[in-house]
Structure 1
Amino acid sequence: MKPLLLLLVFLLCPRAEAGKIIGGREAVPHSHPYMAFLWIKTPTKTKRCGGFLVREDFVLTAAHCWKRSRSITVILGAHDIKDNERTKQIIPVKKAFPHPDYNSNYFNDIMLLQLEKKAKLTAEVSLLKLPSRKSQATPGMVCTVAGWGLIGQNISTTKLHEVQIEIQKDKECVSRFKKVYNSTIQMCVGNPKENKTSFKGDSGGPLVCENVAQGIVSFGEKKGIPPRVYTRISSFRLWIEKTMKSFKLQGQD
């Protein structure tokens, strides 16, 4: 079965889980060229997550998006995941590298996906810069998160949506999530007074602050009430570098 036909089957599957951007708007087509749509398949169901291209052959996402029984296909260069856009690149994942210390409390919720072949960089497919190890995204900064899926109660979309959200002080998430929030490896994001947030299915997508990926959508309350918890990328920069360095860029000697 051809990749685009497989994608159509997935989109029509009634058991597929949808993602949400709440309180946002449709993004300008291809204004987030680093975004990756992850189509995750098991023998019994399908799921979607977000991710982003950090090297021509590596996508960064959340570890909780994957289990060993799952296969993942990455779709780059998409705006409307339903349309057969000429800009799309559909690439299977060769190997998944969830952080070795990831656990069910979403600690260390980060994963690298090695692609079967390197992506072709174009105006619609590009890399997203990672923060330095000492980089700090501070409370009050307004950043952007994007994803595909529901945009309201029972309102779905196949087009990429975006929302601007504010980084919060750690105490906002400590009070809400108690012992499952760790400020050294996580970030608290989303003003509790505003109905603007990422939600289920946006997992793995980047929190972009001043053109740098500072966070990865991780978890929050089931109803999608902000703030929500994001993985702090700067805390994992050494692990990211070591993991990707283990594999030469495909196509190079």
Structure 2
Amino acid sequence: MLRLLVLAALVLCGQCYDGVQFMEDNTRVVGGTNAAKNAWPWQISLQYQSGSSWYHTCGGSLIRANRVLTAAHCVDRTVSFRVALGEHNLSQNDGTEQVISVSRIVKHASWNPNNVANGYDIAILYLASNAVLNSYVKLAALPSDGAVLANNYGCIITGWGRTSTNGSLPSILQQAPLPVVAHSTCSTSSYWGSTVKTTMVCAGGDGVTAGCNGDSGGPLNCAVNGVYQVHGIASFVSSLGCNAYLKPTVFTRVSAYISWINANV
């Protein structure tokens, strides 16, 4: 029966692999609320070109004036990309946006788009020019090398992802609380089992709030000593539904890749 459920999910989802679903494409956070304008100034909208138009596909975090951290699966397609910084409402000009083209993409050498459970869903985007840092556009703080947050640690996901599985597409940046689920719990058979590796972070799983399509690449924001750090890069959810019970949103654990990040910025 489980195999049939997985196969059904694969048929229904163009970006599903072995029961997981990537969270890219023009979509938003499940169970979230509108974020205050520019409350998350390192959050970017990754956009791709189709014809003469640009479309949101993923999130990301500005980590240098000309570098963005995102998920590798967000940039597997061969298209032109750009990032929008200082963005809040995708459907209007807020007067705070900076739009910069992506000049180079570096994906982790071990990333395999056909085996998401292997991990390494991480990429760095080189921007064609430096962003102007101000109150609307700021650099993300990253965790220390190897840092692991405790079970139930309070974090917040942000992004322009679906508000429900196959749901509506609000234009305003969303935010939702997602407490960390310890790897020792998330890797049990009741949760994700062996799909989840120690280089990943699980958060949520209560069946209410979750990441969804369009949130991929975006940050899991966790306050440490009063400063928000990007501890996760949104990677995948269950193909049974974005907020499937006991299937937390899974993130690439940023602290597992600090050396790789430093070598590529």
TM-score band, normalised by shorter chain: 0.7 to 0.9
Q: Structure 1 residues 154, 121: closer, same or farther in 2, change over 3 A?
A: same
Asked if 1 retains the 8 angstrom alpha-carbon contact of 2:69 and 2:217, the reply is yes
Secondary structure class of the residue paired with 1:214: strand
User: Could you tell me how far apart the structure 1 residues matched to 2:141 and 2:167 are?
Assistant: 34
Shift of 1:31: 0.4
2:182 partner letter: K
Of the candidates 169, 177, 189, which is equivalent to residue 164 of structure 1?
177
User: Could you tell me how far apart the structure 2 residues matched to 1:154 and 1:180 are?
Assistant: 26
* Partner of residue 125, structure 1: 137
Listed as ranges, the gaps of 5+ residues in structure 1 are 1-15, 245-253
User: Could you tell me how far apart the structure 2 residues matched to 1:146 and 1:79 are?
Assistant: 11
* Partner of residue 90, structure 1: 99
Of the candidates 24, 38, 41, which is equivalent to residue 33 of structure 1?
41
* Partner of residue 85, structure 2: 76
* Partner of residue 232, structure 2: 215
Shift of 1:24: 1.2
Structure 1 residues 56-83: Cα deviation after superposition (integer angstroms, max 9, x where no partner) = 0000000000125122110000110111
Are residue 115 (structure 1) and residue 127 (structure 2) matched?
yes
Listed as ranges, the gaps of 5+ residues in structure 2 are 1-23
Asked if 1 retains the 8 angstrom alpha-carbon contact of 2:151 and 2:180, the reply is yes
* Partner of residue 18, structure 2: none
Asked if 2 retains the 8 angstrom alpha-carbon contact of 1:173 and 1:227, the reply is no
Shift of 1:136: 1.9
- Give the TM-score, by structure 2 length: 0.80
Structure 1 residues 139-195: Cα deviation after superposition (integer angstroms, max 9, x where no partner) = 110101111143235322110010011101223244243333211x111111x3340
CA RMSD, 1 decimal:
2.0
User: Could you tell me how far apart the structure 1 residues matched to 2:192 and 2:207 are?
Assistant: 19
Are residue 229 (structure 1) and residue 250 (structure 2) matched?
yes
* Alignment length (residue pairs): 227
State the percentage of identical aligned residues. Answer: 31
* Partner of residue 208, structure 2: 195
Q: 5 Å matches for 1:12-23?
A: 17-23=25-31
2:210 partner letter: T
Secondary structure class of the residue paired with 1:21: coil
Secondary structure class of the residue paired with 2:214: coil
Shift of 1:86: 1.3
1:203 partner letter: S
Secondary structure class of the residue paired with 1:200: coil
User: Could you tell me how far apart the structure 1 residues matched to 2:38 and 2:55 are?
Assistant: 25
1:229 partner letter: V
Are residue 205 (structure 1) and residue 218 (structure 2) matched?
yes
2:76 partner letter: K
Shift of 1:125: 0.4
